[in-house]
Chain A
Amino acid sequence: MNFVVPDFYPAAAEIFVAVMALVIMLASTFARSVARNLAYLLTQATLIAAAFITIFTMEGEVVHTFSNLFISDLLGDVLKLMIYFSTAIALLYGRGYLADRKIDKPEYYLLALLMTLGMMVMVTANHMLPMYIGLEMMSLALYTMVAFDRDSARSTEAAMKYFVLGALASGLLLYGMSMVYGATGTLEFSGVAQALYNQTANQTVLMFGVVFLVAGICFKLGVVPFHMWVPDVYQGAPTAVTLVIATAPKLAAFAMAVRLLIWALFDIAEEWQMMLMLVAAASIVLGNLAAIAQQNIKRMLAYSGISHMGFMLLGLLAGVVEGDRHFALNAYSSAMFYAISYVIMSLASFGMLILLSRAGFEAENIDDFKGLNKRSSWYALMMLFVMFSMAGVPFFIGFFAKLSVLQAVVAAGYFWLAVLAVVMSVIGAFYYLRVVKVMYFDEPVDSSPIHAAPEVRVMLSANGLAIAALGLAPQALMSLCAFALLRSL
């Protein structure tokens, strides 16, 4: 029997988070009186400690362990660090909001930690089964978090929709995986890549599987035509949960797309690029046009998220042109840069909504931003940064993100796609600028001062300033993305 004890060292961060989840579960059960604060503080401490563990165990080269089920590389490490930070910030913003609504149960933080663990497993999977397990772990925690305000009909409805559609998408993904297994005889990403390179796979079965895989990925990213759940879930979920859904899971979905499409299916890149092209174009058009009609800002940001994910796909689909792989590194790192900068912007935008909400009042309409400049000119400025950055106004991070994916698309020769994306982002600028107009030129409906915990004020200001600062110096983050991909491919 040839079985060796696997090397646990590369998975130290995952093991640590799993153990801490159990510790928090026990601690919050036995110390019920202080459980809320305890669970929150332990969760934040775990995320910070996991970041240190990830940094210290970083090897800079590709390491496989657990019989090749697990891969540790720089791409995974960078994405994991971003996942810890965005989850930690999302929990920090959301804490006061949940406390105001009396739903800040310790289980919330436990679920957030288990979601993080699921995402870490997705990011470091080198095999379709751990990828799927990580995905389910993340999704199940998210479904529960959406339904956390269980007396609210809207949030349970959103959770139900999310659950049913998510189960369908998981089914599609699994079906695709089984087809790819049927065609190549393996579920391991490098094994699939090897089978494609040797051309031993049955093409019909393989293509069938790839279509289902792409559909599953598109659902998790929330792009057209698998976007139906996004606006309803974003609107129905408590804002603190929307903040969580709109940030770290997008990075995990990006990692899933990269691992499945590039690590496993790179040899048939031209086939899935065609699919992504249609999906990306449709998302950019529909996301931007539908967002114009929204009065509810959570719904508006949901449609804007659909179009942003479409933009991110522009980077993924520009890797290979007629068998030429020169552009691949550039294109994929631009997509990664786009995903990370979207997460930073998304954190700040939903953070602002939480800042304006208070006990008994939900800030969720564009009208709630009326005259924000008169109430607090500092936060109006922060929101201005976020909206300008999302619209792609020069010298904010969102501009460089759009620029780099468009450069990748033009380099690959898809001019029509670049023109479409530019035209649509100009149309899209309208609804971002409308929020800015409402903040600066309308009279406030409600002139009560803004209440927020000091740490939320500091973090939100830092988040807004980061959007501006990274826009002035995007090079560092861009080269980090390129370096991480270069060392991992």
Chain B
Amino acid sequence: MLENYFPVLMFMLVGLGFGLAPVILGRLLAPYRPDSEKNSPYECGFEAFEDARMKFDVRYYLIAILFILFDLEIAFLFPWATVFQEFIAAGEIAWFVFGSVMVFLAILVIGYIVEWKNGALDWE
């Protein structure tokens, strides 16, 4: 059973080698004469203007989180949509299946209203 995973192991080893080999070869074959100028950080040839560890705006982060939430909602709807036809054929149960998804959507809509009202969607 374990030998079935041999290709996976090979894949990992090849992937690792592919990443490491150029770095190691470059270090071994290329000329290597560091000095303080070469090692110092620079921005397009200039001296660095500021520290790289600066605060950045988290607005992107909020939008990204909200995007993931509502994106997942769609992911849940796809399997439901594909089997819904069969439930309609089954009769009575279809309303229950339809209703449960509507409850799920209603919860998301409430979340949407709350985030809108609280200003999470305002860029400024």
Contacts and interface: CB of A to CB of B under 8 A. Distances in A.
A458 interface: no
Contact of B107 (A3, A4, A22, A30): A22
A5 interface: yes
A4 B86 CA distance: 14
B113 A5 contact: no
B117 A29 contact: yes
Nearest to A110: B114
A36 to B, nearest CB: 15
A1 interface: yes
Interface in B97-117: 107, 110-111, 113-114, 117
B14 interface: no
Nearest to A30: B117
B86 A29 contact: no
A26 interface: yes
Nearest to B116: A29
Contact of B110 (A1, A3, A25): A25
A29 B96 contact: no
A1 B107 contact: no
Contacts, number: 23
The DSSP consensus for interface residues of chain B is: helix
A22 to B, nearest CB: 5
Nearest to B87: A1
Contacts of B96: 5
B113 A1 contact: no
B88 to A, nearest CB: 11
A22 B93 CA distance: 27
Interface residues of A, number: 9
B114 A29 contact: yes
A5 B107 contact: no
A4 B93 CA distance: 7
Contacts of A30: 117
B16 interface: no
Contacts of B114: 25-26, 29
A399 to B, nearest CB: 47
B10 interface: no
A1 B90 CA distance: 7
B86 A26 contact: no
Interface string A1-30: 101110000000000000000100110011
Nearest to A4: B93
A1 B113 CA distance: 37
A26 B93 contact: no
A29 B118 contact: yes
B90 A26 contact: no
Contacts of A1: 86-87, 90, 93
Nearest to B115: A29
Given A3-B93, A5-B96, A26 B110 contact: yes
Nearest to B106: A22
A1 B89 CA distance: 10
Most buried by A among B111, B113, B114: B114
Contacts of B93: 1, 3-5
Contacts of A4: 93
A153 to B, nearest CB: 15
A3 B92 CA distance: 11
A25 B111 CA distance: 8
A22 B110 contact: yes
Nearest to A18: B107
A29 B90 contact: no
B84 to A, nearest CB: 12
Contacts of B90: 1, 3
A26 B115 CA distance: 10
A163 to B, nearest CB: 15
Contacts of B118: 29
A5 B98 CA distance: 12
Contacts of A25: 110-111, 114
In order of increasing CB-CB distance, the 7 nearest A-B pairs are A29-B117, A29-B114, A5-B96, A22-B110, A1-B90, A25-B114, A3-B93
10 contacts: A1-B90, A1-B93, A4-B93, A26-B110, A26-B114, A29-B113, A29-B114, A29-B117, A29-B118, A30-B117
Interface of B: 86-87, 90, 93, 96, 107, 110-111, 113-114, 117-118
Given A1-B93, A3-B90, A22-B110, 20 more contacts: A1-B86, A1-B87, A1-B90, A3-B87, A3-B93, A4-B93, A5-B93, A5-B96, A22-B107, A25-B110, A25-B111, A25-B114, A26-B110, A26-B113, A26-B114, A29-B113, A29-B114, A29-B117, A29-B118, A30-B117
